[in-house]
Structure 1
């Protein structure tokens, strides 16, 4: 595939990488493309388990040989149906083994895989299909097929729609639709007609070829398609292997949307290097039950998931007996004393270690087992800011949780804390092969082989994203401390300049509010205003329990938010947060968003981040009420 001489290699956990990170040609176990690495792993591992998935309540295993065979059939069938090298295929499905099979099959014949969030509306699907010029659409079931049928006349470039589950669709007779079994049959036919055809296509891939198109969920404007090459993803694989070691014996749980680059890395690309096993959650709603069943050795999630687990524990504590609450308090105190050392990579004093050992066996070990975190070697968080108090709490219960930073435009990875080299309150140091600098106006900018090729069909937006000397603009403000740890202070576009001229970055205040198990999210308001206010989303489960325990009447979510006792509860949480900030940074008033938001709502991104601009616009009447 590549005639250039092999650069010097170094082995990490049985995987060989270039000695110098960022060195070209970038090689992982001698492979220079994702396709080549996929082929190598499947040939090496064969009958070993690659994936597990539940079928009728039973976990079933699927081997690397299954992975290879199905990807081959998919790739050959799509090519036979008209897929050309460089064409885009959109995948609209929840996480499942077929997502990975299609990803590898599409890339194997030179196509570009593009994920679509299952929460997207039919109109959003139309935009993504037409913007990407997709030639094929993969849909999971009848529900997602309905979105296509609603817009079918407005997406004329689609050649075929492939359906993964045909329950309720046995009578479907549509010229552009086919079921997955028929696609496999077509692939088998193509393989028989042209033995070695898939392998020949794999060999045509080059490091600079666009491998996938990832649309940014974005908090403003229409999504932009970020083009990521084979080299970009291999650079992320290399950086991840060096900083976040994963072993062949590791078990992982895949549950975040695979169209998001973080989960795509963790559950499809990184396992290619690590040879580990990926378990697919049944659905986003069952993730905590599946977490208990799988007990993964590594687990990466967005902050909202870690916040929900914390909130769940708070409910358990409230329901515990006085003795149970006292025991947990003492155990947490022992864990916090130990965490001061472990979270900073320092040796634990003997007395502190013994104290923790006792309470770990009495309380904390059982708690981790109940949460499904008992085998966890490392937890990861990213994609949004997380409260430092929350990080400290997890370390205190014996769950080493480290924060990292990445963007779609950096192939999901730019900086990381590690278990051994961790500083809470930072996003870690730049990963190997990545350079990070702070611009004159305080923006974090970076450069490396993991930085994307640009935005699909948008040279103007691509140019805006890079500086004149080729550094990627992240849009995040921050600084680098004396030990090269990076601290994010906020988003450039989110800076609040009060009427008094004071510059305030709201991210830290919002993170502190979200540490309350009664608050799901918050948006700080105050630009060109005399003081700060906040729009608050309550945590439905915890606040409902609070109301039920105190016999506070409510009939629905809106009436819950309107209850005076609930407003008083949130007011006390706001007051507690205010105590840690300067007067000019304190929240003088707040309002509760009385609509229960989900990922289907425009105000939330697929990773459950509030879209500040839309929230301010849709709830402008609440804002004006606070200032009038």
Structure 2
């Protein structure tokens, strides 16, 4: 008896395209309140026409094709077309600087770039190298493009069903490296297929499910758990139009599966508190009948009343926030994963919650803790390696195929995982974006008034820089120096991608020296010491309105915080 091999992503799409061609698949809001609905058959036909156009270019098999766009229906259609034409998709974040755009397109040697929804295309466009063909998607910014989507749709659709092998490269996802230079994570069709099948089985995804796509599709989490899982589970995918319409969009979708980063869960909560005080809400929710009605009303107002599975990932979630949603009747399950393993590693299961711990490993995932305390995982979701970076790949993948996550952690007797810190210096904000601090620190340290600088931001909405002044800086009047620091902050942020931009500068009055443990014998900053000493202040500093804050190093080393010369406006939590 022949053994049937599991279907890979494109094959799974063809199966759905044939099974229910007239079933709604992608729901795209348009400007002016209109909504476009694409069926599985329409998505297939448009992708096949675009694939025919790509074939006409006679590019070498496996050529790289970029997608630069915010989430939209034709992001997925373009991805399918690239795969059908035998090429590799290279998604880019929609808010990169022109320098980062050029860096990725040149490194990947992309031949074509699909351009879709963007907020500031004129600032990004100079980053497209000469010779890269641009194709404007239906929802696109104003500007000149070599071709429009309508040009591609004039082609006769391909009639075959190309089926790349599991080992074939499907995509290169660029993520920040420790040097600040993006790394190209290579994932095969086999990686995506394994993860998609496992996720559908793990969460029981069905054709009646609905998802809202709003986190960047260029990020592996949205790519897998929206795009790929839709091929295997068959759910309908709704898209958000903008931040201004987000609540309306989510109410339209009424998702049954919903993933968010901690920052979004917090924003939802604050939105509820803006209408009713936390104390009053807590009292009312405890009432036998009214409490149940109120909980359902709150979830319905958020568009979350139909959610079967709710997930949070990208950064730790405060236990108090999880408890608040649980009292509303919504269980949020924490997810742990990386770009390098398709975001598929660990997840909390309903009924198996252990406060402070993420959960057990996912089916098909092996996990171990190294002698250095590093979490290492192995599965069919682990990347092929970093594009054009064999030495970096060797540093990240062990000889026996385990992924070095860079996270410190521990396992309990039931296999539950708890993260205890980062081995690598690169950190992740509460929005799930990686930031490499070293390049930002180097730019700030070029200023003559700054001697030492440490960029922090793990689990914070935005990074910030802790700075120790040089003797030159200390000799200047605060009023005069503050103007220089404001300009420095603006200049540095202008050269950074949006997720890297600093919330502000905190000028530290304490001494950082070898003797007190802040510096190594070679005068490098001990980041762990800085975070341990000032970490209790980070949240308050991050919420402050001022861009330049002064921490004067008083009160047992924790200090007062002055927001300008001569005035005290805030204290650290210890102050």
Return 5+ residue gaps in structure 1 as ranges. 8-24, 319-324, 335-354, 497-505, 512-519, 545-556, 568-574, 576-585, 595-624
> 2:153: which partner in 1?
184
Superposed displacement of residue 160, structure 1: 4.2
1:207, distance to aligned residue in structure 2 (A) = 0.5
- Aligned twin of 2:409: 478
| CA-CA distance at 1:212 after TM superposition | 1.0
User: Per-residue displacement from partner, 1:344-369 (whole Å, max 9, x unpaired)?
Assistant: xxxxxxxxxxx6x6244342111111
Distance 1:442 1:419 in 2: 28
1:81 to 40, 57, 78: 57
- Is the counterpart of residue 158 in structure 1 residue 141 in structure 2? no
Q: Distance in 1 between matches of 2:141 and 2:96?
A: 22
Matched residue of 1:588: which SS?
coil
2: distance between equivalents of 1:35 and 1:587? 59
Cα deviation for residue 40 of structure 1 reads: 0.8
> How far apart, CA to CA, are the structure 1 residues paired with 2:101 and 2:458?
34
Contact persistence 1:445–1:473 (CA under 8 A): yes
Cα shift readout 1:168-204 (whole Å, capped 9, x = no counterpart): 55xx4x6xx111111211x32xx4xxx63x42xx13x
Q: Output the TM-score relative to the length of structure 2.
A: 0.75
Kept after mapping to 1: 8 A contact 2:47/2:78: yes
Question: Which residue of 2 is the match for residue 380 of structure 1?
Answer: 311
Residue 330 (1) aligns with residue 305 (2): no
Q: How big is the shift at 1:315? A: 2.5
Find the aligned partners of 1:180 and 1:281 in 2 and give their Cα distance: 21
CA gap 1:468/1:591 in 2 versus in 1, 3 angstroms? farther
* 1:404 and 2:335 matched: yes
Deviation string 1:112-145 (CA, Å, 9 cap, x unpaired) is 1111111101111000100111010111268665
**C-alpha contact (below 8 Å) 1:444/1:475 kept by paired residues:** yes
The 3 A distance-change label for structure 1 pair 396 and 149 is closer
Query: In the TM superposition, what is the alpha-carbon distance from 1:424 to its structure 2 partner?
Result: 3.5
Q: Equivalent of 1:209, from 165, 168, 183?
A: 168
Alignment of 1:198-597 (within 5 A): 198-199=160-161, 202-203=162-163, 205-218=164-177, 220-318=179-277, 327-332=280-285, 334=286, 358-494=289-425, 527-528=528-529, 532-534=533-535, 536=538, 557-558=545-546, 588-589=558-559
Q: What is the CA–CA distance in structure 1 between the aligned matches of 2:25 and 2:346, rounded to whole Å?
A: 28
How many residues end up aligned between the 2 structures?
474
Structure with the largest fraction of helix: 1
- SS where residue 127 of structure 1 aligns? helix
Aligned equivalents of 2:531, 2:68: Cα separation in 1:
46
Distance in 2 (alpha carbons) for counterparts of 1:46 and 1:299 = 25
- Cα shift readout 1:208-230 (whole Å, capped 9, x = no counterpart): 10111111145652110101011
Q: In the TM superposition, what whole-angstrom CA distance separates every residue of 1:524-580 from its partner, at most 9, and x where no partner exists?
A: 99644696114646699xx79xxxxxxxxxxxx438x87x9xx9xxxxxxx9xxxxx
Q: Distance in 1 between matches of 2:299 and 2:192?
A: 33
**Counterpart Cα distance in 2 of 1:521 and 1:531:** 20
Please give the per-residue CA displacement for 1:221-270, whole angstroms capped at 9, x wherever unaligned. 21101010111011111221222222211111100010001011122110
Distance 2:328 2:235 in 1: 26
1:34 is displaced (CA, Å) by 1.2
Q: What's the CA shift for 1:593?
A: 10
Backbone CA RMSD of aligned residues = 3.5
d(CA) in 1 for partners of 2:504 and 2:229?
Answer: 31
How far the C-alpha of 1:394 sits from its partner, in A, is 1.1
Aligned-partner Cα distance in 1 for 2:257–2:289: 25
Question: Hey, what's the Cα distance between the residues in 1 that align with 2:424 and 2:118?
Answer: 40
- C-alpha distance in 2 between matches for 1:286 and 1:380: 22
Deviation at 1:86, TM superposition (A): 0.8
When residues 39 and 470 of structure 1 are mapped into structure 2, their CA distance, relative to the original with a 3 A threshold, is same
Deviation for aligned residue 1:328: 1.5
Going from structure 1 to structure 2, the CA distance change for 1:6 and 1:312 (only over 3 Å counts) comes to same
Mapped partners of 2:219, 2:62: distance in 1: 21
Q: Partners of 2:562 and 2:168 in 1: how far apart? A: 48
Q: CA deviation at 1:148?
A: 5.8
Unpaired runs of 5+ residues, structure 2, are 428-455, 462-502, 509-525, 565-571
Could you list the per-position Cα deviations for residues 580-620 of structure 1 after superposition, in whole angstroms to 9, with x for gaps in the alignment?
xxxxxx993586999xxxxxxxxxxxxxxxxxxxxxxxxxx
Deviations 1:507-528 (A, max 9, x none): 99979xxxxxxxx999999644
Normalised by the size of structure 1, how large is the TM-score? 0.69
